[in-house]
A and B are shown apart, each in its own frame.
Chain A
Amino acid sequence: EAQVTQNPRYLITVTGKKLTVTCSQNMNHEYMSWYRQDPGLGLRQIYYSMNVEVTDKGDVPEGYKVSRKEKRNFPLILESPSPNQTSLYFCASSLRGTYGYTFGSGTRLTVV
């Protein structure tokens, strides 16, 4: 089944403890992206990648890191999480950006 898989679905962590949210797609898509969703703000793009080793900042990149070493994987790293990073996170992929993105099922992150 063609899909974007992100893990974990739920995560509670403490301030300052490094964490990684994994994302993998099995559709051989070129583009991958991370979004965060907050009430009243819609989805905001954190980072995106157009191909292996090619990444660029979205609208809210501060406090996040990404890497694209393989085409299928695009992990999101929070080196020192803070409570304002409590949010619902989505990974997404697209063959070409203009086709529209396919989204993963989301990761609910709570930082206490």
Chain B
Amino acid sequence: AQTVTQSQPEMSVQEAETVTLSCTYDTSESNYYLFWYKQPPSRQMILVIRQEAYKQQNATENRFSVNFQKAAKSFSLKISDSQLGDTAMYFCAFMGPTDSWGKLQFGAGTQVVVTP
């Protein structure tokens, strides 16, 4: 079974600064997808970014970018120019071809607090 590990329970960053969240995963598959989700205090789960394992290029979405290291099984999220609205829990998630691509495996999450 795949496992997703987020080793940082909480991180604090000042406005306009950059913060990087780490995520590692364990799989024997060669083709899979990785995601970062954001959960603000409203508790809504919001998809931030998606990465296909067979694509070398790192995904970016505005101020959010990832560093995907397939060999190291690492998938970190960088938030640039942090804003107060970025305060949220961030979850890394893995999806593989077993279970017909229906199973999304989450890490335990990293709480990000952006301070003025």
Q: Which residues of A contact B (CB under 8 A)?
A: 31, 33, 35, 40-45, 48-50, 56, 58-59, 88, 90, 92, 96-103, 105-106
A31 nearest CB neighbor, chain B only: B102
Contact check, A97 vs B104: say whether CB atoms are below 8 A apart.
yes
Please tell me if the beta carbons of A43 and B91 are within 8 angstroms of each other in the complex.
yes
A99→B35 CA distance, assembly (Å) = 10
Known: A97-B100, A97-B101, A98-B95. A42 touches B106 (CB 8 A): yes
Contact (Cβ within 8 A) A33 B109: no
Q: A103 with B44: in contact, given A42-B108, A42-B109, A43-B91 (CB under 8 Å)?
A: yes
Q: Do the beta carbons of B47 and A100 come within 8 Å of each other?
A: yes
Q: Which residues of B contact A (CB under 8 A)?
A: 4, 33, 35, 43-47, 50, 52, 91, 95, 99-109
Contact between B104 and A101, CB atoms less than 8 A apart? yes
10 contacts between A and B (CB under 8 A): A31-B101, A31-B102, A42-B91, A45-B103, A56-B102, A92-B104, A99-B50, A103-B45, A103-B46, A106-B44
Specify the chain A residue showing the minimal Cβ separation from B4. Answer: A42
**Chain A interface mostly helix, strand, loop or mixed?**
strand
Query: Which of A33, A40, A100, A106 has most B Cβ within 10 Å?
Result: A100
Once bound together, how far apart are the Cα atoms of A98 and B99, in whole Å? Answer: 12
With A42-B109, A103-B45, A105-B43 in contact, is A97–B35 under 8 Å at CB? no
Given A42-B109, A45-B103, answer yes or no on A98-B33 (Cβ-Cβ < 8 Å).
yes
Residue pair A100, B102 in contact (C-beta under 8 Å): no
Query: Which residues of the partner chain A approach B46 to less than 8 Å between Cβ atoms?
Result: 103
User: How far, in whole Å, are A100 and B112 apart by their CA atoms in the complex?
Assistant: 22
